[in-house]
Amino acid sequence: MSAEFDLKRSCFGDFMKILVVDDEPLIGSETSEYLSLHGYVSDHCHSCDAAMEILSSDPDIRLVITDLRMPEKDGFTLIEATQPLQRHIEFIVVTGHGGKDEAINAVRTGVSEFLAKPVNHFELLKAVKNAAQKIADHDHELSVKSSLQGKVFAGEKKIDRLLGNLDTSYAELTYCLATASEYKDPETGQHISRIGSYAALIAGLMGWTERKVEMIRLAAPLHDIGKIGTPDSILLKPGKLGDVELRVMRTHSSIGHAILSQSTSPVLKMAANIALAHHERWDGSGYPNGLSAEEIPVEAAITALADVYDALRSKRPYKPALDHRTTCDILLYGDGRTEAKHFSPELLQIFKENHDKFDEIYESMHDQAVSC
């Protein structure tokens, strides 16, 4: 949004007008004409009731310049009367009798500016420009929120359709997830495709219901969605990350949780827990909150094991891919960086007894391309 925004258009492209309200017709007329000379579209009237009629019938009016003290109804009454209108309106209050209490009241009611009569034209234009910027900021924020809500709603509807039809192809789901997270590294895209299968395998072996197994199959691949906020220079760095880079990288857990946690979808609520806690460790040495043992949501603990297994198997800018046997040894016995104490003992036992199924998933899916 430009800092030089004026009242000719809102950020939606709609024309906006100024309404001048003053019980002295000459002052109202002169003020309106002065604004018109400076390129603003304005109208004027002489009472609160007349102003409400105009505001109710003309949605393009977004700024009101009103006298404070008028017969019957004052400027504050007008401000209160506009609250039911379905749009944001800024107010500039002008008066020849304003005291300290009235100025304080003006601030409390959200008035943009409080000017004393006779109004200096330079100060009036400055006040109009400031009010216009507030309108622009409000409209821009509303536009961004509307856009984000639309995207989240569309995503939730897509997930709900997938849950309602469990026969929908997993390829379509992978496509949706890869598109949402906007990964630029093809290998990482394949990684998120496999995570759901590993997680569903573990959940099924733990005795979860079919529906919950399908939920984690959809939720687990979103574990790293917060990396959309991580710079490529860090995400794809071939060497070891510096301390500052590591701190930036670790924010992806909180970012992912923030993205997903506002949803009412059961799948995305599960995904939010996973995003936040999949780097927590059973011994309490993980991040971001240092959770340990049963404090870690089980869906996050499952995804953590699946994530580390696949990360070890996969080539990364900073490491080669490891074979299945080497990966199993690291998970079960440790290598100094990854240790068995990082994982739930129950989940490690399930992995130990079914490790060949993990290898089958990796081998069957590691060459699959993800289309975005």
Of the pLDDT bands very low, low, confident and very high (cuts 50, 70, 90), residue 361 is: very high
Looking at residue 155, its pLDDT comes to 63
pLDDT of residue 344: 97
Tell me which DSSP letter residue 284 carries: S
What residues contact 184, with CB distance under 8 A and at least 6 apart?
A: 232, 236
Cβ atoms of 43 and 61 within 8 Å: the answer is yes
Task: Report d(CA 234, CA 46) in Å as an integer.
Answer: 62
Question: For tokens 């900073």, what's the residue?
Answer: 318
Tell me the per-residue pLDDT of 16-38, one tens digit each, with 9 for 90 and over: 689 999 888 888 889 888 888 88
Q: Is the pLDDT of residue 46 over 50?
A: yes
Residue 81 has pLDDT above 90, yes or no: no
% of the chain with per-residue pLDDT over 70: 77
Say yes or no to pLDDT of 169 above 80. no
Residue 162 confidence (pLDDT): 57
> If 0-12 CB within 10 Å is exposed, 13-18 middle and 19+ buried, where does residue 294 land?
exposed
User: Quick check: bond before 221 cis, omega within 30?
Assistant: no
pLDDT at residue 118, rounded to an integer: 84
Question: Across all residues in the chain, what is the average pLDDT?
Answer: 81
Distance CA(60)–CA(62), nearest Å, equals: 6
The model's pLDDT over 106-158, given as tens digits with 9 standing for 90+, comes to: 556 667 777 878 888 888 888 888 888 888 877 777 776 666 666 656 666 66
| Domains of the chain, start order | 17-143 (3.40.50.2300), 165-365 (1.10.3210.10)
Question: How far apart are alpha carbons 291 and 139 in whole angstroms?
Answer: 41
What gap in Å lies between CA 54 and CA 89, rounded to an integer? 13
Q: Is the peptide bond before 25 cis (omega within 30 degrees of 0)?
A: no
CB hemisphere CA count around 204 (13 angstroms): 12
- Sequence-ordered alpha helix ranges (H) in 68-209: 75-81, 100-108, 121-164, 170-181, 186-205
Residue ranges with strand state E in the chain: 17-21, 42-45, 61-67, 90-95, 113-116
Q: Would you say residue 290 has pLDDT above 90?
A: yes
Integer CA distances (angstroms), 222 to 112, 180, 276, 314, in order? 43, 9, 11, 18
Per-residue pLDDT of 172-210, as tens digits, reads 543 455 445 544 555 555 777 799 999 999 999 999 999
Q: Calculate the dihedral angle through the C-alpha atoms of 169, 174, 177, 181, rounding to the nearest 10 degrees.
A: -170
Closest CA to 222 of 307, 151, 321: 307
